């Protein structure tokens, strides 16, 4: 008896982090290419985006969670049902990095798997003058100690937003023909002297 192995065509991504770090802003930049500077409190929102490649539909579900810790049961359910995680902090807010550490421990406890796909995102690099979190220190902790991926971004200036989602989809094991690995390799940090924000080519991958 032979079994047909179907490739994965639906993934669930969840964004976690303290309030005000830019989770919603990153998602809206990816989905609509818009940026709303005013912070709006999120309870939990589910976004769905469909792509059709080679006649096959791929559905991406994105869960935008609350930065408040008043919904632990809701957060636990989101963690249980998701394929990959974005842990977001703001580079001008050291306390938000501490929240990322706690959330990571919660994810590993709920999923019971230390190899759970996690991308740590240091957002708001457009606020370099207010930066209080060292990128080198976080990079060392995330990639060497935790064995997760790390990058910095700016939802406001649209830096590394698309690349963050490509990385998450790669880790969520989308079909090989749709894999963001076919795109040029991401860079952890944007190039300081580049005239245009790097890694935002919309035609560099099947998912754009």
Q: Residue 37: which CATH number?
A: 3.40.50.300
Distance CA 56, CA 45 (A): 26
Mind listing the pLDDT tens digit for each residue in 123-159? 999 999 999 999 999 999 999 999 999 999 999 999 9
What is the per-residue pLDDT for 180? 44
Alpha-carbon distances, residue 159 vs 33, 122, 197 (angstroms): 12, 11, 6
On whether residue 78 sits in a domain, the answer given is yes
On whether residue 60 sits in a domain, the answer given is yes
Count CB atoms within 10 A of the CB of residue 131.
16
Q: Pick from 55, 62, 24: which is nearest to 40 by CA?
A: 24
On whether residue 173 sits in a domain, the answer given is yes
On whether residue 4 sits in a domain, the answer given is no
Q: Is the separation of the CB atoms in 26 and 164 below 8 Å?
A: yes
Q: Structurally, how many domains does the chain consist of? A: 1
The structure's pTM equals: 0.79
- Structure tokens that stand for 181 in this block: 């690995």
Range(s) of the domain holding residue 116: 10-182
Extract the residue ranges of the chain whose pLDDT is less than 50.
1-5, 176-177, 179-189, 191-208
On whether residue 141 sits in a domain, the answer given is yes
Mind listing the pLDDT tens digit for each residue in 173-188? 765 445 443 343 344 4
Q: Pick from 79, 103, 143: which is nearest to 18 by CA?
A: 103
Distance CA 135, CA 189 (A): 9
On whether residue 197 sits in a domain, the answer given is no
């Amino acid at each position: 008896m032979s079994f047909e192995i179907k490739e994965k065509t639906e993934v669930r991504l969840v964004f976690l982090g303290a309030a005000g770090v830019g989770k919603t802003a990153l998602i809206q930049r990816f989905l609509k290419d818009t940026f709303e500077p005013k912070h709006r409190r999120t309870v939990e929102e589910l976004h769905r985006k469909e792509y059709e490649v080679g006649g096959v539909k791929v559905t991406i579900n994105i869960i935008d969670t609350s930065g408040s810790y008043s919904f632990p049961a809701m957060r636990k359910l989101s963690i249980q049902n998701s394929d990959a995680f974005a842990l977001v902090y703001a580079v001008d807010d050291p306390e938000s990095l501490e929240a990322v550490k706690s959330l990571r421990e919660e994810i590993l406890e709920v999923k019971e798997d230390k190899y759970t796909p996690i991308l740590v995102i240091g957002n708001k690099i457009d606020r370099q003058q207010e930066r209080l979190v060292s990128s080198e220190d976080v990079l060392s902790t995330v990639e060497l100690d935790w064995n997760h991926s790390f990058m910095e971004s700016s939802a406001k200036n649209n830096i590394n937003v698309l690349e963050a989602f490509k990385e998450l989809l790669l880790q969520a094991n989308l079909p090989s023909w749709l894999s963001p690995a076919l795109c040029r390799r991401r860079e952890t940090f944007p190039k300081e002297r580049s005239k245009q924000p790097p890694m935002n080519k919309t035609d560099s991958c099947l998912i754009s």
